[in-house]
Chain A
């Protein structure tokens, strides 16, 4: 048994999950196998926009080993529609996605039929024999193509427009010494978790019950949605969460297959398994980040920011899925960032195209917004002749100004304020870490054939979404502890973190704690994992449950030892009285069940914050960028496990650098996805960016939860494009190159350099 004399919260405890994963003992969706299990494959639309005239599955049905071909006709007259889980603005309702295409397909990859067979290979063989007659329609692949409406009821392809803001931006711009407007964009890409989605659905005909294994993220919400679609009671469905190989926002939302596979299992009264292959993954899972922005900044000549105007244009793809308008809304909300900008006006236009629908991906909207704003800040500072660090220092919100309200930027949310922090101190720390004062003279310098650039990016990041989370803790008869929580585990180390919290509260050795998570069988209600909320909400709920159990243990021990609670202490899985008498937890648990429920309700968001700095070189002849040094500094309030937070930060930086340089879902003007394989969709691997550093600070705890924790899973990604693109721009500034658009591929940088050179020649 490990010693519990010292507290585990705040320590870099080794993850309890690691032995399981490193020894290959994890249990992931594709590990699932039960007797009589059938396999499903989905027939997906090969074209972006068409009417379905007929479907002929007779050849498929005649093949050996094929049990069913399910199309919209088999599902009934009313095709279930996937609900809006977040940002449920009424404007989006008509654009929601049906679980299967019936009359029209609107993106390459949209499900048209489900083949269920004895094996996945047989199912794929059958897919090839299904004949579909399409009447092709013009594909809409960009904004403003209003002559081809995707939806018959709509006049154009704009699903939503709104304006929001605070202060008086018009007046600020009218009176400003300096104004600059630029257009920026971030390319469509996706999160690419290592494990693709997968489900096993088992229907018990006699009991009328359904068990779906492989669920995650928001299992209780998804169960409710599935129950309504299937017309069964919520209680008759169990959604079971097993190991999950990464979520990053995209995994675990309610997708068409989350209905289709259970439906097939019920229809056939057989277990049905489906696992997404990588090709379908790239065309089926939520895409993200596809946002353009026109951003204007108004300043005084001394660099004080007076006003910000932003117009966000978001390509939502073919349907509005569960995340509603979160991506563009957050892009708009986080345009001002950690700066004192008294007058802000934002507008959002969410438009539909014949592409895969969009959803949230780690740091949704923030990655984009920080890139837009931090780029414009560098341009403005340069125009005004102000050092880029000094410009930021001057405008960062000071601690005295906190809490700092940012009300009115999101129409479906109430008032909110940046909570606590010392933005300037963290900024200075990042400058020190990157060696800004020693290295700033390198900006744009050509040394050994490459140009150097150092870029900065500041951010503030919300986390810890409400409304609540639940947990239950049980002292087992052997004295071990079982923790159950409504939060989902997606590979981020939450089991360990919750174990640390429970261990400290109850003085139970860490290795005597088991953490159960996510499944709908564990608790009456759970709220899941997104918006960096699992520690803030789930951790606080576990703390509450453990604190209540502690009281019960003390009461039980008091009876047992005949001493008052005030004379008792919990020490290493025992209750010890001042007089030296003691009783073990196991002995107490043997007598009666010791269990406690806990909950944490809170609608106040946490705001972590920080600064990233990047030092890059650019080979101006090839466009190749090397990241020489990268530092991310973030104040997360309190790090329950600094090693895990550090891992989150480093992983997030790598993922963010993928978004800057590599990840790109490329469509042609027919709406064909051109790179639906990992040969062509480039993603960073563990060895691509070897020099990354992260500093996690605990300067100002969150006042909104008893742990003092702020969300820590997304701050590592949200400023990566900002800092890195600024570094690349600084490197190329002597060549008169500006950076507005991601990804920064070698051919794109080469083209920018060529064009700038051609302009210079023309001008001369």
Chain B
């Protein structure tokens, strides 16, 4: 499990990094924390001829909170998010989701940008990005473009990133105070990839009715996705047990996962329904007496 032969460059500026990527065509690969790429190289599942290490690029390691939103640099690690005391208020859903990411060692090195660019269908960060309508800033030879998260991820482990482009930051829209939310996931061991996960939030109007419902799921398809059918059920309703059960039933039918060595498809469908019930109950602060 040694890496295949490859070159390594560590540019000092974003311009140099993009130039290096452009110079190698599709044979270069960006590396940041290396928590997905290095194992893939060790298994020789990926064989780029050069690694472009963006670890020393300036300005990609900050989390800033402004009137426009929450900007997170691509090199921010899970540990950075965990340690940022502002996020518990500023974006509790993000903080809750990131608490489930991997184990200590990975959390110290794995980055937000790396997770998004890797686009694992069970990973938390792409799930949060898609759920929250995050906007991703990408810089390449042809300049800068901004892409919405659900358009950024195009399938399992695939994104719109061109060979000469680098994802440099993600912006999450501002989080409303008093927003109702919950994150639920189920993994075999703490820190493992989720068999299924749900990120949910909605706002409530003066009458206590839900609007702006966002329901995102991970681990149940080839990419993280929103469940518009479920959101439609929630919007305009008071979130009570009956609505929650209806939403869960729709969620179970809305996905079509494949069997794999970890779980049969029917389990994932049912699990997603259970997780959604629990997430919505927690968001609405009601208790569902679960019949079993």
Contact = CB atoms under 8 A, between A and B. Distances in A.
A682 B274 CA distance: 24
Nearest to B270: A750
Interface stretch (B197-205, B224-232, B256-264): B256-264
A651 interface: no
Nearest to B1: A277
Contacts of A623: 267
B143 interface: no
Contacts of A128: 44
Interface residues of A, number: 35
B221 to A, nearest CB: 17
B2 A747 contact: no
B195 interface: yes
Tell me which of B2, B195, B274, B290 has the highest count of chain A C-beta atoms within 10 A of its own C-beta: B2
Given A120-B2, A277-B1, A679-B39, A446 B292 contact: yes
Interface in B237-280: 261-264, 266-267, 270-271, 274
Contacts of A277: 1
A754 B4 CA distance: 47
B59 interface: no
A761 to B, nearest CB: 14
Interface string B161-196: 000000000000000000000000010111010010
A279 B2 CA distance: 11
B1 A279 contact: yes
Nearest to B274: A621
Contact of B2 (A121, A684, A687): A121
**Chain A binding site: helix, strand, loop or mixed by DSSP?**
loop
Contacts of B44: 128
A747 B188 CA distance: 10
Contacts of B8: none
B264 A747 contact: yes
Nearest to A677: B43
Contacts of A622: 186, 271, 274
A400 interface: no
Interface string B54-92: 000000000000000000000000000000000000000
Interface string A728-764: 0000000100000000011100110010000000000
A682 B2 contact: no
A80 to B, nearest CB: 28
Contacts of A685: 189
B3 interface: yes
A680 B195 contact: no
Nearest to B289: A449
A194 to B, nearest CB: 15
A750 B268 CA distance: 10
A621 B292 CA distance: 7
B236 to A, nearest CB: 28
B189 A662 contact: yes
A747 B267 contact: yes
Nearest to A624: B186
Contacts of B4: 125
Contacts of B262: 680, 747
A567 interface: no
Interface centre among B39, B195, B262 (most CB of A within 10 A): B262
A745 B187 CA distance: 11
Nearest to A684: B189
Nearest to B103: A685
Contacts of B263: 745-747
Contacts of A590: none
B189 A688 contact: yes
Contacts, number: 65
Interface string A607-645: 000000000000011111000000000000000000000
B5 A620 contact: no
A686 to B, nearest CB: 11
Given A120-B2, A125-B5, A750 B292 contact: no
A33 interface: no
Task: Name the residue among A451, A675, A677, A746 with the largest chain B CB count within 10 angstroms.
Answer: A746
A128 B2 CA distance: 12
Interface in A187-211: none
A279 B45 CA distance: 13
A657 to B, nearest CB: 12
Contact of B189 (A279, A666, A682, A747): A682
A731 to B, nearest CB: 11
B270 A745 contact: no
Contacts of B190: 687-688
A451 B291 CA distance: 12
A340 B214 CA distance: 63
Contact of B267 (A125, A675, A688, A751): A751
Contacts of A511: none
B264 A751 contact: yes
Contacts of A682: 188-189, 192
Given A662-B188, A662-B189, A687-B190, A750 B39 contact: no
Contacts of B264: 747, 751
Nearest to B44: A128
A278 B292 contact: no
A449 B3 CA distance: 47
Contact of A620 (B39, B188, B292): B292
A281 to B, nearest CB: 10
Contacts of B192: 682
A391 B262 CA distance: 37
A125 B5 CA distance: 8
Contacts of A680: 261-262
Interface centre among A449, A620, A685, A688 (most CB of B within 10 A): A449
A674 interface: yes
Contacts of B261: 666, 674-675, 680
Interface string B3-18: 1110000000000000
A124 B186 contact: no
Contacts of B2: 120-121, 124
A679 B186 CA distance: 16
Contacts of B195: 746-747
Contacts of A684: 189
Contact of A621 (B1, B188, B189, B290): B290
Contacts of A451: 292
Interface in A540-596: none
Contacts of A688: 189-190
Contacts of B270: 621, 750, 754
A676 B280 CA distance: 38
Nearest to A675: B261
Interface in A438-453: 446, 449, 451
Given A121-B3, A750-B270, A279 B188 contact: no
A124 B292 CA distance: 53
A622 B4 CA distance: 41
Contacts of A687: 190
A278 B192 CA distance: 18
A568 B186 CA distance: 69
A121 B6 CA distance: 11
Nearest to A127: B44
Contacts of A747: 195, 262-264, 267
A674 B1 CA distance: 17
Interface string A269-300: 00000000111000000000000000000000
18 contacts: A121-B3, A124-B2, A449-B290, A620-B292, A621-B270, A621-B274, A622-B186, A684-B189, A688-B190, A735-B292, A745-B188, A745-B263, A746-B186, A746-B188, A746-B267, A747-B264, A754-B266, A754-B270
Interface of A: 120-121, 124-125, 128, 277-279, 446, 449, 451, 620-624, 662, 666, 674-675, 677, 679-680, 682, 684-685, 687-688, 735, 745-747, 750-751, 754
Given A621-B270, A624-B186, A746-B186, 9 more contacts: A277-B1, A622-B271, A675-B261, A680-B261, A682-B188, A684-B189, A747-B267, A750-B267, A750-B271
Query: Ordered nearest first, which 6 A-B pairs have the shortest CB separation?
Result: A121-B2, A620-B292, A277-B1, A747-B263, A747-B267, A621-B274
